[in-house]
Amino acid sequence: MERDLQEAQNYNIVDKSLRRRQFLIYSGLTAAAATLAACKKDAATANTVYVNDGLTIDFKDDVGLLNTLYACCQLQVAFCNRLAELTTLGWTTVQVTYLNEIRLHELAHSEFFKSFLGITALSSLSFDFPGIDFSSRETTLTAAANFQNLAVAASNGILARCTERGYLVIVAQIATVEARHAAWLQEQIAAGSSSDLGALQAWDADAQRSLDVAVTPEKALELMKPYMKTELKIVNK
């Protein structure tokens, strides 16, 4: 905790009372969130409190955008966990190593949002993957690349709508990691395919102008929906 406070101080904030607030934020907030989430009658109205019931994506401000990316990262974690079970598909050693690293990155993203968003966060969502063929490396890698490209597209759509600089920076820092994941996965499927924007039209890549995928947060949620067992409430679209 002390180290977190030191690092938080490094962000150009040296006020002592702020240190105390940050201690409260990191130590108290998630506990408070768990308690509050259970008290439905304490739930927020639009004008006063913002306590997420765990299922709501509210686009009235940037929190809805961040929750959209949080949902996407949770989906990635669930898929990576599913991939990790497929031990008999004949992966190379490098593929096993890198797939695991991708999984850790997605877990880092997901846990980051859980902590950062605190009581405004979605809860832990459940996923399954109907219609995805897990019987071969090729079909599995294709699904993996699709989910990474979805994450890039969602991030890019979110970046265009962010109103807070700090949140834009965080999303941008995640977006390029997902793009690197997608590139590696695509190279596993077909060498030389990682820069082929023409193959990414499902997420509105523009091959002619060499612009990457981008979908609105609402569309991103629609694309995630087939895999979400939990139904989300989307408000203020």
Q: Which stretch binds other proteins (CB under 8 A): 128-136, 138-146, 188-196, 220-228?
A: 188-196
Q: Which stretch binds other proteins (CB under 8 A): 1-9, 124-132, 134-142, 225-233?
A: 1-9
Contact between 220 and other proteins by CB under 8 A: the answer reads no
Among residues 195 and 226, whose Cβ is nearest to other proteins? 195
The nearest distance, CB 153 to other proteins, in angstroms, is: 9
Contact between 129 and other proteins by CB under 8 A: the answer reads no
Chain-centre distance of CA 117, in angstroms? 12
Number of residues that bind other proteins (CB under 8 A): 88
- As a whole number of angstroms, the distance between CA 237 and CA 105 comes to 29
The nearest distance, CB 151 to other proteins, in angstroms, is: 10
Among residues 101 and 133, whose Cβ is nearest to other proteins? 101
Among residues 45 and 88, whose Cβ is nearest to other proteins? 45
Among residues 140 and 156, whose Cβ is nearest to other proteins? 156
> What contacts 89, CB < 8 A, 6 or more positions away?
136, 137, 140
Label residue 69 exposed, middle or buried (CB < 10 Å: 0-12, 13-18, 19+). Answer: buried
Query: How many alpha carbons lie under 13 Å from residue 9 in its C-beta half-sphere?
Result: 13
- As a whole number of angstroms, the distance between CA 158 and CA 22 comes to 27
The CB-based long-range contact list for 205-210 (8 Å cut-off, 24+ gap) reads: none
The nearest distance, CB 131 to other proteins, in angstroms, is: 27
* Site residues (CB under 8 A) for other proteins, limited to 33-92: 35-36, 42, 48-51, 63
The nearest distance, CB 32 to other proteins, in angstroms, is: 5
Closest to 73 (Cα-Cα) out of 101, 44, 106, 51: 106
Among residues 151 and 224, whose Cβ is nearest to other proteins? 151
Contact between 184 and other proteins by CB under 8 A: the answer reads yes
Provide the pairing of β-strand 56-58 with 233-235: parallel
Among residues 127 and 212, whose Cβ is nearest to other proteins? 212
**200 — phi, psi (to 5°)?**
-110, 30
Among residues 71 and 157, whose Cβ is nearest to other proteins? 157
**From 37, 86, 89, 117, residue interacting with other proteins (rule: CB under 8 A):** 117
Q: Which stretch binds other proteins (CB under 8 A): 80-88, 138-146, 157-165, 227-235?
A: 157-165
Residue 179 CA: distances (Å) to CA of 102, 135, 192, 203: 11, 25, 15, 13
